[in-house]
């Protein structure tokens, strides 16, 4: 007995279920992955790659030591709050917008002391601020 065959069925692979599985795997990995940046960052500041800049005009030097004490040149400021720094910088001669300031902060200085000094410089009207760094050590 011979059975009549209708048309030949072509075999096909359904991609819909494959796409569903791949999507589920991607969602699972995205949800379970932890993004811990602190373990991957190793910071040794302040060092930077770049050449020295020659400065012709007179500059102010603001120094922050490892304990967070702030000096204007070699003179220590009596207080390290923003208002005291702005007051001392306001007494400096010349136009603050045209004067150059070099901020020399110790690499171990508290970050808050550096931010306070930068904020005070901005409030006093200084716009030409450079941060002094050391060149990166050779490997």
The CATH code belonging to domain 47-135 is: 3.30.420.270
| Confidence band, pLDDT 50/70/90 cuts, at residue 35 | low
- Residues 56-70: pLDDT tens digits? 566 788 888 888 888
- Residues 41-90: pLDDT tens digits? 343 345 566 666 565 566 788 888 888 888 887 788 888 788 888 888 88
Work out the angle at residue 122's Cα, subtended by the Cα atoms of residues 46 and 125, and round it to the nearest 5 degrees: 135
Q: What is the CA radius of gyration of the chain?
A: 31
Three-state secondary structure string covering 3-23? CCCCCCCCCCCCHHHHHHHHH
CA gap 87, 79 in Å, rounded: 11
- Give residue for tokens 């279920």: 17
C-alpha pair distances (Å), 12 with each of 9, 73, 115, 122: 9, 80, 65, 69
């Amino acid at each position: 007995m011979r059975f009549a065959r209708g048309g030949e069925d072509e075999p096909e692979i359904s991609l819909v279920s494959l796409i569903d599985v791949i999507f589920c795997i991607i969602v699972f990995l995205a949800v379970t992955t932890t993004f811990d940046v602190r373990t991957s960052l190793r910071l040794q500041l302040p060092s930077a790659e770049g050449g020295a800049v020659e400065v012709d005009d007179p500059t102010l030097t603001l120094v922050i030591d490892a304990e967070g004490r702030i000096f204007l040149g070699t003179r220590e400021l009596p207080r390290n709050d923003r208002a005291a720094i702005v007051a001392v910088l306001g007494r400096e001669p010349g136009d603050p917008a045209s004067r150059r300031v070099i901020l020399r902060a110790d690499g171990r200085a508290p970050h808050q002391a550096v931010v306070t000094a930068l904020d005070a410089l901005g409030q006093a009207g200084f716009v030409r601020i450079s941060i002094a760094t050391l060149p990166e050590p050779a490997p």
